[in-house]
Structure 1
């Protein structure tokens, strides 16, 4: 018998820092008014779906997105493995102040000044996905997370991005991306 896990992933809605092209990483920035409306729209895309589990990054922007898209549920599981990449000293800078493309290209930014490497982030996200695969067979799961996590998940499910540049997998704020595990 084939077992399947459907994963629905909502990227958080817009923040002022998204609008200003600032690198957020682990800095806890809330949604702006546009982001709140985007989260409500994302909720319409999952309306009527029954989820067996809901996971959310512990950062404010994802918690707010989860609230506006899904609702307030005491069973939401907050998991640090699906929070955004730690960008180290680059957090708070605008993308044009750093080599942002190189930072998301495998093998080019593997130093301490940049915080978490792609390899470290991948290990964290894959650990989460392995746990889902082991514990949620034949289930529908909702995640509310970040662009970086979704890029890593796309590489996991679809293979390395073109030119090893993960920005080729970047999704828009409050988008809903689906993945499925098939055994």
Structure 2
């Protein structure tokens, strides 16, 4: 089954290189809205349904795409960004990232989720979608952390950066 994962457009926190996680629910900035519109114009009509994180930045990106293609849009909490707890709102240092494959990084920031927690909900999402939409192509609008994790789990690639409105295809 084909999944097309898309990262949301830019927010002010993205521009300032600050961590958001789930706790900072920021809308797209003007550049992010333009990125989402441009993406909607570039995508091909080769998907059947759209799933999105309910966080504003993903929701707004997904709504622009859904309107362009007149597709059903379903929101799923499974697609929310990694809850980084006490790291929410903190500056991201250049080159710093939370490692996916390294056990040293699999911890729960105070009040947040571990990578294993995120993996469990992502696997539930994929299983449920495959059961409900067999043989369909699904567009998923979500967050950089989720897309990095799916790359690691299914392509064994550990990516340092997922660009805003970047597109990532998987056969799952």
TM-score normalized with structure 1 length: 0.83
Q: 1:66 to 1:141 in 2, by over 3 A?
A: same
CA contact (8 A) 2:119 2:149 kept: yes
2: CA distance, partners of 1:42 / 1:57: 17
CA contact (8 A) 1:10 1:42 kept: no
Partner of 1:104 in structure 2?
Answer: 99
Partner of 1:127 in structure 2?
Answer: 124
1:94 aligns with 2:85: no
Partner of 1:179 in structure 2?
Answer: 170
Q: Aligned pairs, how many? A: 168
1: CA distance, partners of 2:131 / 2:111: 32
Q: How far did residue 136 of structure 1 move?
A: 2.1
1:53 aligns with 2:53: no
Greater displacement, 83-92 / 69-78: 69-78
2: CA distance, partners of 1:64 / 1:29: 10
TM-score normalized with structure 2 length: 0.87
Gaps of 5+ in 2: none
CA contact (8 A) 1:8 1:177 kept: yes
2: CA distance, partners of 1:104 / 1:44: 33
Gaps of 5+ in 1: none
The higher radius of gyration belongs to 1
Partner of 1:147 in structure 2?
Answer: 144
CA contact (8 A) 2:11 2:32 kept: yes
Q: How far did residue 45 of structure 1 move?
A: 2.8
Greater displacement, 67-76 / 11-20: 67-76
